[in-house]
Amino acid sequence: MVGRPNRPSALSATPGLAPQPQVTFSDDNSRVSAVLPTGESVTVLLYGATVTSWTDATGAEKLWLSSAAHLDGTKAVRGGIPLVFPVFGTAPDHAQTGKLPQHGFARTSRWEFLGKSTSESAGGSGAADLTAKLDFGLSAAGLDEAARKLWPFAFNLIYSVNLNRESLTTSLVVTNDDDKAFDCQVLMHTYLRVKDISNVEVLGLESAEYVDKVDGAKTKTQAAAVTITGETDRVYTPAGEAVTVVEGGKKTYSVTRDNLSNVVVWNPWTDKAAGMGDFEPKDGYKNMLCIEPGSVSGWQSLEPGDAYEGAQTITYYS
- Give the contacts of 129 (CB within 8 A, at least 6 positions apart): 120, 121, 123, 164, 165
71 vs 167: CA distance, rounded Å = 24
Q: String of b and e for 173-204 (b: at least 16 CB within 10 Å)?
A: bbbbebeeebbbbbbbbbbbbbeebeebebbb
Active site residue 94: no
Which residue in the list 40, 103, 189, 247 is annotated as catalytic? 189
Which residue in the list 40, 103, 247, 292 is annotated as catalytic? 292
100 vs 147: CA distance, rounded Å = 8
- The answer to whether the annotation marks 234 as part of a ligand binding site is no
Contact, 70 vs 278, CB < 8 A?
yes
- Give the contacts of 270 (CB within 8 A, at least 6 positions apart): 285
State the burial class of residue 56 (Cβ atoms within 10 Å of its Cβ: 0-12, 13-18, 19+).
middle
Active site residue 189: yes
Contact, 132 vs 34, CB < 8 A?
yes
Task: For residue 197, give the 3-state DSSP assignment.
Answer: helix
Contact, 45 vs 52, CB < 8 A?
yes
Of 116, 114, 113, 96, which Cα lies nearest the Cα of 105?
A: 96
- The answer to whether the annotation marks 312 as part of a ligand binding site is no
- The answer to whether the annotation marks 107 as part of a ligand binding site is yes
Q: Which residues contribute to the annotated binding site? A: 78, 102, 107
Active site residues: 189, 292
Bind-site residues for substrate: 78, 102, 107
